[in-house]
Amino acid sequence: MNLWPDEMWAACLYGPGDLRIERQPTPRIAHDDDVLIRIRACGVCPTDVRSYVRSIKREGQLPQSLIPGHEWVGEVVVAGPAVTEFTVGDRVAVNWRVVCGVCDYCGQGRHNYCLHPRHNRVRGGFCEYGVAPASNVKRIPDGVLFTEAALVEPLACCLNGTRALRIGLGDDVVVVGAGSIGLLHMLLARAQGARVIVSEPLPERRRRAKALGAHAVVGGDGVDPVAAVRELTGGRGADAVIVAVGHPTAIQQGIQMAGPLGRVNVFAGTYPPTEIPLDPNLVHYQNVVITGTHDFVPREFDLALKLIGHGIVRAAPLISHTFPLAETGRAFDTVVERRGLKVVVEI
């Protein structure tokens, strides 16, 4: 007798703002190294919201491919015959990015540029069951809640971003934008010994950033955040800047906040695509390095689990809302309206 039903509840995206909770076939183990997982939590990512707002109608594809969500965690229900490292009941987090491991970029340790990613091996997580190859399944440390473990994927992305910034002890680091991603960056920069300044227009988010450990916050009505950062850094500007908002003004300000030899990470995608003016002398004379990162590599996923497991990065204070699967639409709307920080659906 199967321990799992033939059908499950799933949140399916049909069009802009049209997210329906409906019955879908429960996924099956298709490869010997697959693990079937009862999903317990799935975080709402800006990427999910983007497809919810603009919505991509993918006609002709399997209904299951319309289930969004890639930040999911749960319990092992069935382990395929070739799986030795997991048994039924194990609490696990799933790395959705299945890479080839052998292409040129994987060989460089840059798996997020893998030339042959296997897109359909791990499907969306706003549903009751998911399947993943065992190599992409990681045990959740004891004491970490499912909702907290759902932040492992975004934290892994932030780890990838922080690597490019070479943050050192005592560096002045600015985080532009204090949503959940900005706050994760703030916690990571703190963990690396930086002095962290958070730039954020919303007073509630500035207050939260301060409460969670920002050394200083700037922004709000009548405040020029670039001038404020200059003042806080003795006129020099920051050693590193993370722009965690996909907005042209924020990116421009972030670049202007960097001091000589400063590193700037354009961490958020900008939609719709846009252009910003850039003074080339900032790059030439000031040696400001402008870089960008997205996604993560397998080691960063493991490291993110470790950081949350040991409380080096505390995920719980970043979770502002949880919703049941039946209210996934409300969870998305909460993110769209910027009413919370991290929003997680509990399943």
Choose one: 37-45, 78-86, 198-206, 270-278; the region binding Zn ion (CB under 5 A). Answer: 37-45
CB of 110 to Zn ion, least distance (A): 9
Question: How far, in whole angstroms, is CA 309 from its chain's centroid?
Answer: 17
Among 29, 53, 100, 289, binds Zn ion (CB under 5 A): 100
Among 106, 140, 217, 245, binds Zn ion (CB under 5 A): 106
Distance CA 99, CA 172 (A): 35
Does 121 interact with Zn ion (rule: CB under 5 A)?
no
Does 318 interact with Zn ion (rule: CB under 5 A)?
no
Q: Which residue carries 């040696």 as its tokens?
A: 287
Does 244 interact with Zn ion (rule: CB under 5 A)?
no
Total number of residues binding Zn ion (CB under 5 A)? 7
Phi, psi of 200 (to 5 degrees): -160, 130
Choose one: 100-108, 195-203, 234-242, 258-266; the region binding Zn ion (CB under 5 A). Answer: 100-108
Exposure string over 61-86, b if 16+ CB within 10 A, otherwise e: eeebebbbbbbbbbebbbbbeebeeb
Cβ proximity to Zn ion: between 100 and 164 the closer is: 100
CB of 270 to Zn ion, least distance (A): 17
CB of 93 to Zn ion, least distance (A): 12
Structure token pair of residue 313:
């990065």
Cβ proximity to Zn ion: between 177 and 262 the closer is: 177
How many Cα neighbours within 13 Å face the side chain of 1? 1
Structure token pair of residue 36:
């079937």
CB of 246 to Zn ion, least distance (A): 14
Reference 199, options 188, 210, 187; nearest CA is 210
- The contact set with Zn ion (CB under 5 A) reads 45, 99-100, 103, 106, 114, 153
